Chain A
Amino acid sequence: MTVPEEAPPIALSLSGITKRFGALTANEGVDLDLRRGEIVALLGENGAGKTTLMNILFGHYVADEGEVRVAGPDGTLVPLEPGSPHAALEAGIGMVHQHFTLAENLTTFENIVLGTAPLLSARLAARAAREKLQELMRRSGLVVDLDARISRLSVGEKQRVEILKALYRDARVLVLDEPTAVLTPQESETLFETLKALAAQGLAIVFISHKLAEVLAASDRIAVLRLGRKVADLPAADCDRQTLAELMVGHQVTMSRREPQAAGEVLLALSAVTCGEGRDTVSDIGFELRAGEILGIAGVSGNGQAMLARLLSGLERQTSGDIRLAGREIRAHDAADMIRAGVARIPEDRHRDGVVGAMSVAENLVIEEIRSSRYQRFGFLDFRAIADRAVEAIASYDIRCPGGSAVARLLSGGNIQKIVLARTLDASPSVVLAAQPSRGLDIGATGDVHRRLLEARGRGAGVILISEDLDELFALSDRIAVIHRGRLSPPRPAEELDRAAVGLMMAGQHTEDAAA
């Protein structure tokens, strides 16, 4: 470590933290010191133990071994009572969870003071709280409307409220779990600027992430966790993407590459399609998908891409406009029809829509084709055929599980996604709809997904890739369109676009010159 001699005092110290869940060791002997005014990124793949470590810090879990010590107001380190979020709050630790913990029906102000004000407090206390908050907003630059209802705020604003809430409780250490997961690239930049300003005022900040770019850009120091152990703790200035990726995964990482390829005939055409009401709508959408191309659809989630995916999955019927698959108009909204028509659908929420968690891996592998003569005779299941299929798919897609009869719920997200891939892509579909296919997956599993999508493209399938991840979109897509508030920009060749332009369009700045 290259800590200068006049290093600021330590604000928080984790030493020898070990946490086991049955046979699984989530954290093993993790040490981490955090100094005042420092931003530390906690980097690791899913399941590396990042969130567990932070939950121990915040008292949601109790470590089996090891100790958390926090600097008191006078700077001396005091052991923190384990297993008590209340003690953590008292000790000045503020946590911003990935899923916000705000009451939607209350105002910003009410949410922030909730739990701090005595129940029978008079107006006087409220005024004092307001003054304190105004001061905090002025100092931190986190400006929100104190009297707006939370339900009316954007995701970025809600996150600001969460941070303010922590600051209001005099947090000296701020923990953020995957803070950029729900933000646009621009919102993320704003967030990191705010965090830098807060750190400059002496706050110690830890944020969890698995995105290499933001970790490199926003932190002073990077701690890498792999399989529960801390494998590196380096100044950000000494790191680069390749090193970090390899530290995270533990071996060499090769990225799939998209080879140039001419697009074929039109497979899927939407014109003036409108569907849904409320937030998740698509309105007046049109595009053509050709054989052998990947069409990327960028957008911050909640802008209609879920509805578009449901529409093309056969779960929803458009209110107007038409959808043509290989020239044939699709009228009925029927998932079985879409499967028969050769549309492979990789759902956004793989746990909810992708697998039946309580059923076995084998059953989930055949569920889309359970009525085909391959797996049943006179309505009776052909268990041998189902088991054979499972053996084959487990081998060719490298699904890590105890066997075909293992319950799907127990598999990791990456392996569940492999079940979905095997099920949908092995049927040689002509159109592939991949909705957020690598969301929540680690580098290895993401690589698998990308390779499979490129293989489908190479076979001549048309692939629609809905994603929020610009790296993914630019790595895979031949053309990219942006969806914002249910409207889709005309797709343009990826080579003509850059990240900044797409980022602006995702934020709603739908200008032609933005894509220069």
Chain B
Amino acid sequence: MIRFEPREHVSPLRRVAAPVVAAVAALAVASLAIAAAGAPVLEAYGLMAKGAFGSAFAMSELLARATPLIFTGLAAAVAFRAKLWNIGGEGQLYAGALAAVAVGTGALALPGPLLIPTVILAGALAGGLLMLIPALLKVRLGADEVVTTLLLNFVVILFVQMMLEGPMKDPMGMGWPQSEPMLDEAMLPKLMDRMRVHAGLILALVAALGVHILLKRTVWGFETRAVGENPEAARHAGIPVTATFLRVALLSGGLAGLAGVGEVAGLKGYLTADLSPGFGYAGIVVAMLAGLSPVGAVVAALFIAGVFVGADSMSRAIGVSNYLADLVVATSLICVLVSGLFVRFKVRIVRPGTGRGTA
């Protein structure tokens, strides 16, 4: 028999080590799949590492891939801190992208220095307002936000498809369902010549720092933590619980919206319905790997991005499907959840019969 006994004190080292161990465990589990595909495991991982970190180009790809993941990771981390289960990062990302395209394709005639902030603001606002809907349904009607945020993702993506087939379709797009291109002045600057990494990364890092300060050093963060940890006690102590939920929803949705802004205004230049390969959902994994820490989210986003970029490169070289990346990401979420158990509990194996515990 196995018994779980809660630990009284959790050392910070254990807390930090847990996600690292989880990530390694996920890679180990995925190596079974590589072996099953008939490829040499070590070589495959070597190629993955090279593909993710091996050259300036690889690094640029890694950072470009990490940018939306930092945003969606922060979005999930902020919401989860308040125990607001925002699973709708994907939909908010598209809402942000749609708003960025709506503003940035010539609808507003503003000079560049004003246009870029307007695009960013519009995207954040769209994501935030979208998240406000399930948050209001939660506080007013008690609707479970896991369900509402998840389902809204499909609503938003269908809406985006409708817009791209209809009013927002690019007349010059040779019939493809895509938006008109962003104005050049509305595009985020590139960070390096002929590389894809863009200023969205700077924005993401600033956002991570901002969220860190917000949670740690402000009344607002204090209230968010209190509501997340114990809403009853927070309400009893006079903290505006409903308002806190709504603020967190706006912020969380806004951050996810910024991921969409970065993708259209930093990378693609126009909107298609396959803009995101699931960045919204991967953000949840990022947040969990990061232990809901905003700074940790940056590191976790780099790891997940590295897995994706590296797997692409590896699959080109030795023909193992790049679905392997999804496998690693999914496994690492499971591993981090399991490792959380080991952080909080001591496991004792009890031999039946004697009932004596051995650690």
Within 8 A of A (CB), among B212-244: 217-220, 222-223, 225-226, 229-230, 232-240
Task: State the CA gap A336–B243 with chains docked (Å).
Answer: 13
Say whether B229 contacts A379, CB under 8 Å.
no
Determine if B236 and A315 form an interchain contact, defined as CB atoms under 8 angstroms apart: yes
Bound form: Cα–Cα A278–B8 in Å: 39
Measured between beta carbons, the chain B residues less than 8 angstroms from A21 are: 8
Option from B9, B219, B226, B235 in Cβ contact (under 8 Å) with A381:
B219
Query: Are B233 and A381 in touch, CB under 8 angstroms?
Result: no
* Contact, CB under 8 Å: B230 / A83: no
Of B94-102, B292-300, B349-357, the one with at least 4 CB within 8 A of chain A: B349-357
Most A CB contacts (10 A, CB to CB) among B232, B234, B235, B236 go to B236
The answer to whether B222 and A370 touch across the interface, beta carbons within 8 angstroms, is: yes
Point out which of B8, B220, B229, B233 has the most chain A C-beta atoms below 10 A from its C-beta. Answer: B233
Within the complex, what minimum Cβ distance (angstroms) separates B220 from chain A?
Answer: 6
> Which single residue of chain A is at the shortest CB-CB distance from B241?
A335
**How many residues from B make CB contacts under 8 Å with A?**
27
Please report the C-alpha to C-alpha distance between residue A339 and residue B350 in the assembled complex, in whole angstroms.
51
Of B223, B233, B236, B355, the residue contacting A370 (CB under 8 A) is B223
Report the Cα distance A168→B238, complex, angstroms: 50
Q: How far does the alpha carbon of A334 sit from the alpha carbon of B242 in the complex, in Å?
A: 12
CA distance A63 to B355 in the complex (A): 10
The answer to whether A381 touches B218, judged by C-beta atoms less than 8 angstroms apart, is yes
User: Could you tell me how many residues of chain A have their Cβ less than 8 Å away from some Cβ of chain B?
Assistant: 38
| B232 with A368: CB separation less than 8 A | no
Residue with the greatest number of chain B CB neighbours at <10 A, chosen from A313, A314, A315, A359: A359
Residues of A within 8 A of B229 (CB): 356-359
Min CB distance A416 to B, Å, is 11
A277 is an interface residue with CB less than 8 A from chain B:
no
Q: Is the CB of A336 within 8 A of B238?
A: yes
* B237–A368 touching, CB < 8 Å: yes
A28 at the binding interface (Cβ < 8 Å): no
Given A62-B356, A84-B355, A379-B220, the answer on whether A354 and B350 have CB atoms closer than 8 Å is no
Binary A-proximity of B339-352 (CB < 8 A = 1, otherwise 0): 00000000000100
B170 shortest CB reach to chain A, Å = 44
- Quick check: is A363 within 8 A (CB to CB) of the other chain? yes
Chain B residue contacts of A359, Cβ below 8 A: 225-226, 229
- Alpha-carbon distance A355/B239, docked complex (angstroms): 13
**A98: which B residues are within 8 A, CB to CB?**
none
Report whether A367 and B237 are in contact in the complex, using a CB–CB cutoff of 8 Å.
yes
B233–A356 touching, CB < 8 Å: yes
A 333-374 binary contact with B (CB < 8 Å = 1; else 0)? 011111100000101000011111111000100011011000
Contacts of A356 in B (CB 8 A): 225-226, 229-230, 233-234
Closest to B357 in A: A62
| A64 smallest CB distance to B (angstroms) | 9
Query: Given contacts A358-B229, A381-B219, are A313 and B236 in contact (CB under 8 A)?
Result: yes
* A62 near B238: Cβ-Cβ < 8 Å: no
Within 8 A of B (CB), among A72-109: 81-84
Evaluate whether A83 and B350 lie within 8 angstroms (CB atoms) in the complex, with A62-B355, A379-B220, A381-B217 already known: yes
Known: A62-B355, A62-B357, A367-B226. A22 touches B233 (CB 8 A): no
A446 close to chain B: CB less than 8 A? no
- Contact residues in A for B232 (Cβ distance below 8 Å): 352-353
**Alpha-carbon gap, A359 to B230, bound state (A):** 9
Chain A: minimal CB distance from B345 (Å)? 13
Pick the contact of A368: B225, B238, B353, B357 (CB < 8 A).
Answer: B238
Q: Are A345 and B236 in contact (CB-based, < 8 A)? A: yes
In this complex, which of A83, A334, A336 has the most chain B Cβ atoms within 10 angstroms of its Cβ?
A: A83
Cβ of A13 < 8 Å from any Cβ of B?
A: no
* A356, B229: Cα distance in complex, Å: 6
The interface residues of chain B lying within 8 Å CB-to-CB of A367 are: 222, 226, 233-234, 237, 239
A-B contact pairs, 11 of them (CB 8 A): A62-B357, A82-B355, A336-B240, A358-B230, A363-B222, A370-B222, A379-B220, A381-B219, A381-B222, A383-B217, A410-B8
Beyond the given A335-B237, A347-B236, A367-B226, could you list 7 further A-B residue pairs with CB under 8 A, ordered by the A residue number? Answer: A83-B350, A84-B355, A336-B238, A353-B233, A359-B226, A367-B237, A380-B218
By a beta-carbon cutoff of 8 Å, the part of chain A in contact with chain B is 21-22, 59, 62, 81-84, 313-315, 334-339, 345, 347, 352-359, 363, 367-368, 370-371, 376, 379-381, 383, 410
Interface, chain B (partner A; CB < 8 A):
8-9, 217-220, 222-223, 225-226, 229-230, 232-240, 350, 353-357
